[in-house]
Amino acid sequence: MNKQQVLAGTLALTLSTVALANDTGVDEDSLFGGSDDTSEEALFGSEEDEGDLFGDGLLSESAEGGADLAEEFLAGTDPFLLNGDFTLSATTTRKDYTASGKTTSDVVKAEGTVTMDVRPSASLRGLVKADYSIDQDTSDTSVREAFVDWTIAEQWYLRAGKQVMHWGVGRFYSPADLINSNSIDAADPDADRDGTDALKVHYPTGNDNYYVYLVPQTGSSNNAVGLKGEWLISENEMSLASVSRPNGHNSFAMTYYVPSNDLNLFAEYVLHHGVTTLAMDANGNTSDRSDKWLSQSTLGVTYNLADDDDYNISVTAQYFDNGLGYDTALWQTQSSAWKAANVEKEFYGSHYSAVSLRWANIMQSDYTLNLSSLTNMTDDSRTNKASLSYKYSDDVKGTFTYSKASGVTGGQYSRSGSGDSVSFKLTMLSREF
C-alpha cells in the first residue's frame, strides 16, 4: 500500500468519527501559558508561519481585497495535493530555577507536518493535516485538522470536522476566542493549535459575514451553539459573537480592529454568565460567582517600522483584564508561597501585560533579534526573554536564547520560581515537499 492510499484511508476514517470537545471551565495554563522554557520559535514565531486555510485576519475567512476567499478555497484547480515540511534540529539547554535547581538537556529532534488536500469538485473538499516529531527519547504523531468543506448554491459554505476557528483579534491574550477547545498561549502566540470538532455554516454578503457553529460537548448530548457576525466599518473591522453552552455558561463578545499603514489597534470585550470560577473576597473566603455577570477585556497596539531596509522592526504591546477569577483556589493550595509574595489581598481576577519587539534582518544582515516580556500583575510573576538568531542558509539556522523568570514558585510566569535559562538551537535541515 503506497503513501497516498494510507493517507486517503486516514482521511476517511478520521472524518467518519467525530470526537467530543471539552468544556471544563477555565484552564489557566491553557489560556495564559506560563512555561519557564519556551522555544524561540514558540515565543516569537517563525519566518514561515502560515495562517488559517481561509486566511488570518478577522474578515479574511470570506473576503480580502474584494475577493471571496471562501469560494476560491473550494474552487481549487488541483484535485489532489500531498505536501508538508521536515525540520531537523539540535538544542542544548541549561536551566537554574529556585524549585528545580540546575538542570541540563540536549535534544536532537526531527519534526514536521503532512497535509493531504482532496478536491473532487468545485463544491466539495476534504483536508487532513497531521503533525509528527521524534527525538532520542520520544515520538509523537497527532491529527491537527481533519474536515470536509462543501458549498450550497454558491452562497452557503459549510465545514464539518476537526477545525481551527479564528475568533478574536488579540495577539497574546484573546478572551473573545470562545469557541476553540484550546486557547492562545501567551508564551506561544504563533503556535499552531489543534482543531475542535465542529460544524460551521458561513453566509457571506459582500464584505459582511455571518456564522453559525455547533460544537459537541463532553458529557452532554447537546451542542454548544455559537453565532458570530463580522462587519467592515470604513477600514475598521468589528465583530459581535455569542456562545450558549449546555452547562448554562453563556458568553457575549465584541471585537474591534483598527488597521493603518504603521499602527494597528485591537480591542476585545467579553461578558460571561454561569461560568464556575473561584475568587477570594476581602475576608479571605472563597466564593463561586457563577450567578453573576463577569467580564474580560483587552486592548493592544502593534507598530511596524518597515520604511527603511535597515530597520524592519515590529513592536506589540497588550493589556488584559481577566475578571473570571481562577480555576483553583491558589491562595489555599500554595498559601505559604503566596503569602510571602507581593500579591493582592483580594483575588477577583488577574491583570496581565505583554510586550514584544522583533527586529528582522538587522541592518540588512542575516541576524534577527527578538525581545519579549510577559507579566502577571496580580501575582507579580514575570518572564523576560531575549533571542538572537543567524540564518546561514535556507536549511541552516542558529538561535541563542536567554530567558529569566521572577516571582514566587507557582506564579503564572514563574512556575519553577525565579531563575534563568540559556539555550542554543541549531537547525540543520529545513525542507518543504
Place 210 in a pLDDT band, splitting at 50, 70 and 90.
very high
107: exposed, middle or buried (Cβ count in 10 Å: 0-12, 13-18, 19+): middle
Place 265 in a pLDDT band, splitting at 50, 70 and 90.
very high
Length of the chain: 433
How many Cα neighbours within 13 Å face the side chain of 324?
A: 27
Q: Which residue has the higher pLDDT, 45 or 346?
A: 346
Instruction: Give me the chain's average pLDDT, please.
Output: 82
- Least confident residue range of 16-20, 165-169, 322-326: 16-20
Q: What is the pLDDT of residue 44?
A: 42
Q: What is the pLDDT of residue 308?
A: 73
Q: Which residue has the higher pLDDT, 250 or 181?
A: 250
- Least confident residue range of 26-40, 73-87, 336-350, 403-417: 26-40
> Percent of the chain at pLDDT above 70?
76
Dist. CA 54–CA 66, nearest whole Å: 14
Dist. CA 326–CA 378, nearest whole Å: 12
The conformation of residue 130, written as its DSSP 8-state character, comes to E
Q: What is the pLDDT of residue 398?
A: 98
CA triple 392-393-396, angle to 5 deg: 75
77: exposed, middle or buried (Cβ count in 10 Å: 0-12, 13-18, 19+): exposed
**pTM for this model (two decimals):** 0.80
Distance separating the N- and C-terminal Cα atoms of the chain: 20
Q: Cell 544582515 maps to which residue?
A: 365
The pLDDT of 276-305, averaged and rounded, is 83
- Least confident residue range of 71-85, 268-282, 305-319: 71-85
- Strand bridging mode 156-163 / 278-280: unpaired
Q: What is the pLDDT of residue 220?
A: 82
Residue 237, C-beta contacts closer than 8 angstroms, at least 6 positions apart: 57, 58, 59, 169, 230, 231, 255, 256, 257, 259
356 to 70, 186, 306, 315, 433: CA distances (angstroms)? 33, 11, 16, 6, 32
C-alpha cell at 76: 481549487
pLDDT tens, 380-412?
A: 899 999 999 999 999 999 999 999 999 988 888
CA triple 229-234-240, angle to 5 deg: 20
Domains of the chain: 3-432 (2.40.160.10)
The conformation of residue 276, written as its DSSP 8-state character, comes to -
Place 107 in a pLDDT band, splitting at 50, 70 and 90.
very high
Q: What is the pLDDT of residue 340?
A: 54
Residue 293 predicted with pLDDT over 90: yes
Dist. CA 54–CA 204, nearest whole Å: 13
Q: What is the pLDDT of residue 24?
A: 36
- Least confident residue range of 26-40, 83-97, 122-136, 179-193: 26-40
